[in-house]
Chain A
Amino acid sequence: MNSPPLSLGAGQQVMTPSKGVGERKIRRLEMLESVLALGGLVLLRDSVEWEGRSLLKALIKKSALRGEQVHVLGCEVSEEEFREGFDSSINSQLVYHDLFRDPLNWSKTGEALPGGPLGVLRAMCSRTGPGPVTIALDSLSWLLLHLPCTTVCQTLHALSHQDSRPGDSSPVEHVHVLGLLHGELHGPGPMGTLSALARTEVTLSGTRSQASAHILYRRPQQRPTHETHWFSILSDFGVDLQGVSPLKSQPHPDPLTPPVDPTTHLTFNLHLSKKEKEAKDSLTLPFQFSSEKQQALLCRGLGQATSHIFYEPDAYDDLDQEDPDDDLDI
């Protein structure tokens, strides 16, 4: 149950799958950190084959170990079952809101939470302490089935943007809302709208033996990036990483077809050798005057207001100054 004593600093090297078993444990928690890095709403989309509650509990454990306040809204499993597997220090840190035992307040003993699920969520919107908060919703699917989708979206948005202090540039990073969403229960409408609201979206899938998490990061105003992690969850809700395949969002050029260079196989010469350049520079062009004459022509153009016409009459011109039309009778 005890995690091996390792120092997990920020400057870990990128692990390749070919390295030994001992070094594999260095990046144990790095995937969880990257999921929690952006803040805001984190969607965990699981399915029947690949369940997500263990990853949710791993994230809760990670947040609790970091010292954040953790609130859990339990709707699908009982409180005992949810707390199973956590050690006592983490269990004492969890604030559990139980909606499983008596969601509609039929027992009327006063133990049920006032206002139902919506009241609980709205109460969580007003923050109690200044530190970072993690709110785990187990599960978001249950909420979507019991409340209208627009109300859930508006409440989630209010939850993740809680900080109303003016001048706080990134209120979202203090709050993590982890929502577990079962993929088969909802149509494309609610899934699409929740994806658009979420900052980080983790989709669980995998091959026969290995689970994988495809993580999509939607930073605001930036291109989304994604990664795929292969992992397995240990009994103490630590995460054992088996590999990462980050898919870059930049397109790769196709390596098979090299770009065709249009300047090859030409019948004329595109480049000049040095001698040819010198010969070209020393060539006198027909209207290239010396610089003095250029200046003279240019300056004369500036100084004169009118232009002069220099005309030399040839033999056939009539230079009679009299009106040539005088002999016409009009």
Chain B
Amino acid sequence: MAAVGSCASGSGTTGSVGAAAASKNVTSFQRKGPRASGTDSGGSRLVSIAGTRPSVRNGQLLVSTGLPALDQLLGGGLAVGTVLLIEEDKYNVYSPLLFKYFLAEGIINGHTLLVASAKENPADILQELPAPLLDDNCKKEFDEDAGDHKAPDSNIKMKIAWRYQLLPKMEAGPVSSSRFGHYYDASKKIPPELLKASKWHGFFLPEKVPSTVNIEPCSLTHGYIELLRFIQKVIYEEGFDGSNPQKKQKNILRIGIQSLGSPLWGDDVCCTQHCASSHSLTKFLYVLRGLLRTSLSACIITMPTHLIQNKAIIARITNLSDTVVHLESFIGSDRETNPLYKDYHGLIHIRQIPRLNNLICDVSEVKDLAFKLKRKSFTIERLHLPPDLSDTVSRSSKQDLAEPAKLPGPGCGMTAGGKKHLDF
């Protein structure tokens, strides 16, 4: 794993505690030489990769998913070397957005991208990435988005708090920091000069010539084999697994795989319940995770799990992925007209968060999360039930109390009534 080196160097120095040295210059704690193998050579060098930060919980190196709200729900971000699985919504309207935010975040941070799809050309996918919001106009964008137009109050002198006039204004909206997590404008496309400056590799399955090698049963389908070979080639050639030691500047590889498991990849897990190559998808995920764990890369996969007929396979896929997020949109369901959900477009369920070098994981206690696609941004909020303001709420209790008083009876009202309440 690409763990920050504090734990690594700690384990190396325990062996060298000996007798206390006589002179004051040399301490008994001696640092081991730099590690020859692997990616976690020296903790300080990892932190300096652009667009990453160490997790405060377990020291893993995190990258942003492109949505700061989602980063917060996942415990700070997506750990390098893990897989984020997005279970697509039924009409595939919102999951491509999350996919694009992830890739756009990679471009802004200067990471290398690898985009794989069987449906669309990767060049077309990259053309449609959202444009980033820069510092100066991001607050204005968010005010417009919220819908209320606040009057500019910079030149209104404050009557009561006049001593604070000269203090600098605090930013009320989200500020896009240059280090981690950026905001995007979903209505605009990414400027082409940013795309030209970025480095990306595309994998479009219909363009790959099928090999004539016979594929034996219970093995990976052809599309998956080609994709794994391609990913392995990119990781090896570009040195993301530390294989090219002359490369000084470390970078992250962001892999995006669209609609994995759909029949366009050649996999019939969505078509039948008892498919011929039933282990193809699970084997692919296993091998992919192995590739990711030994390299500085993070992967996002969108999968149409609502089409998978065999529910046991969905459970296996969830176990084989690290972070699993399920999008459930309200389109076409009866929740669309439900007044409880009228402000939102769907629910988002965080199905799984990985336990990386840990016994517990960073699950947020908020379970009811809903998302909403506004004109410019995609927001994730906690689902609040509106207060029940109807008249019947308080009236029923008053009626119950009034009734025993009306009934005539020899004794006191309580015994005569005895209907529902026993008021003490």
Most chain B CB within a 10 A radius of its CB, from A189, A221, A253: A189
Find out whether the CB atom of A253 lies under 8 angstroms from the CB atom of B342.
yes
Using CB atoms, name the residue of chain A closest to B329.
Answer: A223
In the complex, the answer to whether B309 meets A189 with C-beta atoms within 8 Å is: yes
How many whole Å from A52's CB to the nearest CB in chain B? 22
- Type the 1/0 row for A169-212, where 1 means its CB is closer than 8 Å to any CB of B: 00000000000000000011110110011000000000000000
Contact of A298 among B166, B262, B266, B271 (CB under 8 A): B166
Q: How far is A285 from B332 in the complex, measured between Cα atoms in Å?
A: 58
Beyond A150-B268, A189-B271, list 9 extra A-B contacts (CB 8 Å): A148-B268, A149-B263, A149-B268, A150-B263, A153-B271, A187-B272, A193-B307, A197-B264, A288-B162
| Per-position binary interface string of chain B over residues 304-347, scored 1 when its CB falls under 8 Å from any chain A CB and 0 otherwise | 10110100000000000000000000011000110100100000
Binding site for B on A (CB under 8 A): 148-150, 153-154, 157-158, 187-190, 192-193, 196-197, 218, 221-224, 249, 251-254, 257, 260, 262, 285, 287-288, 294, 297-298, 301-302
**Measured CA separation A240–B241 after assembly (Å):** 66
B93 — which chain A residues lie within 8 A by C-beta? 221-224
Closest chain B CB from A264 CB (angstroms): 11
Chain B residues near A188 (CB, 8 Å)?
309
Q: Who on chain B is nearest to A285 by CB?
A: B160
A288 to B263, CA, bound (A): 73
The reply to whether A254 and B339 form a contact with Cβ atoms under 8 Å apart is yes
Chain B nearest CB from A182 CB (Å) reads 17
Q: Quick one: given A154-B263, A196-B262, A252-B337, are A149 and B271 in contact (CB under 8 Å)?
A: yes
Which of B266, B270, B331, B390: most chain A CB closer than 10 A? B270
Instruction: Determine whether B110 belongs to the interface, using a CB cutoff of 8 Å to chain A.
Output: no
By a beta-carbon cutoff of 8 Å, the part of chain B in contact with chain A is 91-93, 96, 118-119, 159-160, 162-163, 165-166, 206, 262-264, 266-268, 270-273, 304, 306-307, 309, 331-332, 336-337, 339, 342, 389-391
CA distance A148 to B267 in the complex (A): 11
Are A189 and B272 also in contact (CB < 8 A) when A149-B263, A154-B266, A254-B339 are? yes
Q: How far is the CB of B405 from chain A (nearest CB, A)?
A: 25
Contact sample, A vs B, 18 pairs, CB 8 Å cutoff: A149-B271, A150-B268, A153-B262, A153-B264, A154-B264, A157-B119, A187-B309, A189-B270, A189-B272, A190-B272, A196-B92, A197-B264, A221-B93, A221-B96, A251-B337, A285-B159, A288-B162, A297-B163
B92 closest partner in A (C-beta): A196
Q: How far is the CB of B124 from chain A (nearest CB, A)?
A: 9
Residue of B nearest to A153 (CB): B263
Q: Which residues of B contact A149 (CB under 8 A)?
A: 263, 268, 271-272
Per CB-CB distance, the 3 closest pairs between chain A and chain B, nearest first, are A153-B263, A149-B271, A260-B389
Most buried by A among B93, B159, B165: B93
The one of B266, B273, B304, B307 in contact with A150, judged by C-beta atoms closer than 8 angstroms, is B266
> A223 CA to B165 CA in the complex, in Å?
48
**Residues from chain A with Cβ under 8 Å of B268 in the complex:** 148-150
Docked complex Cα distance between A285 and B304 (Å): 64
Q: A189-B273, A189-B307, A254-B339 are in contact. Are A223 and B264 (CB under 8 A)?
A: no
- Does B91 lie within 8 Å of A224, measured CB to CB? yes
Question: Which residues of chain B have C-beta atoms less than 8 A from A288's C-beta?
Answer: 159-160, 162
Residues of B within 8 A of A221 (CB): 93, 96
